[in-house]
Amino acid sequence: MSGSSLLDTCAGLVVDLDGVVYRGAGPVQHAVDALNLAAERGLPVMYATNNASRPAAEVASHLTELGVRTDAEHVVTSAQAGAVLLAEQLAPGGVVLAVGGPGVALALREVGLSPVTPQQRIDDPAVAEQVEAVLQGYGTELTWTDLKETAYAVNAGAAWMATNVDLTIPTDRGIAPGNGSAVAAVRNAVGEEPQVAGKPYPPLYTRCADRVGGDVTTMLAVGDRLDTDIEGANRTGMPSLHVLTGVDGPVALAEADRLLRPTYLGLDLRALQEPYVAPSVDGTESATCGEATARLDGDTLEVSGGSPIEQVRAAVTLVWVATDAQRLEVPLPDGVRATLQRIDPR
């Protein structure tokens, strides 16, 4: 599809937030202009976040403060997706233990359920007996007591819904533990797996497409994590763009199995509007992308010419072909990994 932009090929966008649009409070470079351009062209831009701590309106307010033209109707959080799933399983007004930031309790109220806090469950035995389910999401003020109450409720028979299972979350200071790390702590105590509403499972993506009346196969998912954004898109049947502004770089991309491989690779969100130069492969020995060339010589990967993103596209695509043909094994040889690390533009 060289010569066409990704905006020319899709009917709308489903965009991840942390690591794609912003890191912490500040924007990722080029993100705001690229997203506003998509909206100006008439494409619906939905924002899908696994971070359940903030209500959709607060997320939208943050985006508008950064300069993104959007509103709460174009934001779907994993807390909202989880609340919808629980509403399908419980009677109206069902009591749910809300664990995490304020976005968790609000999402439950929006679908007619009755959230209670861990402290309410501690203080009132009658409340504890009424809890039918737990919705566990990310929160910056999460405490060990919150995790204990989650485990006690699940062990008492409450349904357990995790908004997401991201082990880490990118912040303006680096990579921090995510909701998946807290979920793992509870899992160790209860010995069972939660239901999961967020990426990499389809509900969050399908809810975004439904919100704008789109078909998942015509929307384009944009993310920075392979095991959430990209796997979720693939599970949903939605094409995807992976940008190198967050968690996963060329090494992780090259070692990814088929379910975690994106349709497209971009340096940042400018990739949406630029003519997309796709790589081509010659057997399992060489690949080109624009002016970039990647070659495999034994267990050594050589990359030369072209722009940084052309180099990454050529190298990663060649390694995918070579691993699928069992020409290379994962984990990749040191010589291949070293080159992938060298061309990492982050």
The residues carrying an active-site annotation are: 16, 18
Tokens standing for residue 204: 């969050």
Burial of residue 129 (number of CB atoms within 10 Å: 0-12, 13-18, 19+) = exposed
Task: Please return the burial class of 26, using the count of CB atoms within 10 Å of its CB with bins 0-12, 13-18 and 19+.
Answer: exposed
Cβ neighbours of residue 275 closer than 8 Å, sequence gap 6 or more: 2, 3, 4, 5
Residues 6 or more apart whose Cβ sits within 8 Å of residue 123: none
Distance between CA atoms of 160 and 175, rounded to whole angstroms? 26
Helices of type H across 230-271: 231-236, 250-255
Contacts of 287 (CB under 8 A, 6+ apart): 279, 280, 281, 293, 294, 314, 315, 317, 318, 321
Cis peptide before 331 (omega within 30 of 0): yes
Backbone angles phi, psi at 250, to 5 degrees: -60, -35
Q: Across 145-298, where does the E strand assignment appear?
A: 159-162, 168-171, 174-177, 195-196, 219-223, 240-243, 264-266, 280-282, 286-289, 292-297
Could you say which DSSP state residue 307 is in?
A: -
Please state the three-class secondary structure of 133-176 as a single string: EEEECCCCCCCHHHHHHHHHHHHCCCEEEECCCCCEEEECCEEE
Number of residues that this document lists for the chain: 346
